[in-house]
Amino acid sequence: NTNLLANAPGMQWEARLSAGRSAFFRQEHAAAELLLASVVNATNAPDAELARAEFYLGDVAADQTRRTPTNMLDALPHYQHVAYEMIASPLHSLAWGRVGDCHLQLGNLDLAAEAYRTVTELPSADITTRSQAGLGLAHVLDEQAKTAGETEEREELLKRSLEQCMEIVFGGNLRSANEKMDPFWVKEAGLMAGRLAGRLGRAEQERKIYSRLAEELPNMPLWQARLDALQAKPIAPRKP
């Protein structure tokens, strides 16, 4: 109803954002871009809605993986706008995480690490966002290890990557007693931690990781299966 939207100007932005987001979920990228860009290009859109439109435009670009890597190059400025300039937005910390994701996929490892570290230090970032960024940093360190060759530096990078994962699995990134670990990111960090511990030949640490995960995520039989597999083979350090 045009008259209704005219009488309640805030509704027009929400309508465009919702329609753009719906088009995105239907994989109608061109329609989503058009709707979201109409908010970004408007001169009178409120800051909160402008931040959402920018962030969602980043998602639309990033989702078009058939254009990889140019999709990430297109997505990055939208996320950067929210991360660098829209600090009051609830999407601010998430945007920093997306900046890290883009740089990681583009191979800009130092910039990715900087973005992920920023997320982990932001007062506004919740445990889910911080855990996701912490795991992103673990992936950066793992990628850096791949370029280090068979050196002490490689092993050190793998150890630091493992430490990042362990922090998530064991709740080292919780800021207060009221925070609860995010099960999804605990699982993802646990899977990576187990792989890294195995590569480093740390069988006992691998056992501790899967024992912890079996306690935290008891509905996943995977952890006990991993423990059983470890129990069946002798403890012997392997070359990382």
CB 209 within 8 A of CB 194: yes
Cα(113)–Cα(121) distance, rounded to whole angstroms?
A: 12
Q: How far apart are the first and last CA of the chain?
A: 64
Residue 236, pLDDT > 70, answer no
Model pLDDT, residue 237: 54
Model pLDDT, residue 150: 82
Helix (H) or strand (E) holding 189, with range, is helix 183-199
Helix (H) or strand (E) holding 156, with range, is helix 152-169
Cα(236)–Cα(29) distance, rounded to whole angstroms?
A: 52
Could you read off the pLDDT of 88-115 as tens digits, one per residue?
999 999 999 999 999 999 999 999 999 9
CB 92 within 8 A of CB 83: yes
CB 112 within 8 A of CB 124: no
CB 174 within 8 A of CB 195: no
Could you read off the pLDDT of 50-62 as tens digits, one per residue?
999 999 999 999 9
